């Protein structure tokens, strides 16, 4: 199974960012992600064996119980791997200590459950668009730097399965397998 643990912003946060982008999307020749795909990935697990799933869920539940609710917002932007040769445009999320601790806990839970965790250093973001060829995106990042979304209280995270190619226009389809409340 292809899984990830993530925080999904509430509807009013997604709608606010979507409205900000709606009049600007036509100016970018990108593959825009859909709003139902917007999330903050805490740990990406590209190949989870069925035999590890129960242990993973139990460990993620414990990781959630160790955390306390915290406030988060989306504001600013960036590009991977960098602005000069970008392949991904994203909306940024400020560094919050509790968010970093949650990501560390989710990654540790996956590793202890015998699951490989992919990815480098945690950088909280919402992927907005993917580019077929690297492009220079300074103007888009500056535009996103002017954006500040509403704050919300994060009090849970989810374990989500990604079904590649099963969504509209051959995009991934996401299925929430479980949620893990804090405290």
Report the share of the chain in percent with pLDDT over 70: 100
Which residues have a Cβ under 8 Å from the Cβ of 19 and sit 6 or more positions away? none
**pLDDT at residue 121 is higher than 90:** no
pLDDT for 173 equals 86
Q: What is d(CA 156, CA 182) in angstroms, rounded to the nearest whole number?
A: 5
Query: Helices H, strands E: what count in the chain?
Result: 4, 10
**pLDDT at residue 164 is higher than 90:** no
pTM of the model: 0.92
pLDDT for 28 equals 78
**pLDDT at residue 177 is higher than 80:** yes
- CA 64 to chain centroid, in Å, comes to 17
Q: What are phi and psi of 65, to 5 degrees?
A: -65, -25
**pLDDT at residue 46 is higher than 80:** yes
**pLDDT at residue 169 is higher than 80:** no
DSSP bridge pairs for 70: 154
CA dihedral 88→92→96→100, nearest 10 degrees, is -10
Q: What is d(CA 99, CA 63) in angstroms, rounded to the nearest whole number?
A: 12
């Amino acid at each position: 199974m292809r899984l990830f643990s993530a925080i999904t912003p509430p509807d009013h946060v997604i709608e606010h960012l979507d409205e900000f982008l709606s009049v600007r999307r036509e100016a970018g020749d990108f593959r825009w992600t859909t709003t139902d795909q917007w999330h903050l990935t805490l740990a990406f697990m590209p190949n989870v064996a069925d035999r590890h799933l129960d242990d993973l869920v139990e460990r993620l539940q414990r990781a959630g119980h160790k955390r306390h609710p915290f406030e988060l917002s989306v504001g600013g932007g960036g590009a991977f791997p960098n602005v000069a040769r970008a392949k991904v445009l994203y909306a940024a999320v400020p560094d919050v200590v509790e968010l970093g601790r949650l990501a560390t806990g989710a990654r540790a839970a996956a590793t202890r459950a015998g699951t490989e965790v992919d990815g480098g250093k945690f950088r909280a973001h919402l992927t907005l668009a993917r580019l077929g060829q690297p492009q220079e995106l300074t103007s888009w990042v500056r535009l996103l730097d002017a954006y500040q979304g509403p704050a919300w209280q994060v009090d849970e995270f989810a374990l989500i399965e990604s079904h590649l190619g099963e969504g509209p226009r051959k995009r991934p389809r996401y299925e929430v397998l479980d949620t893990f409340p804090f405290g």
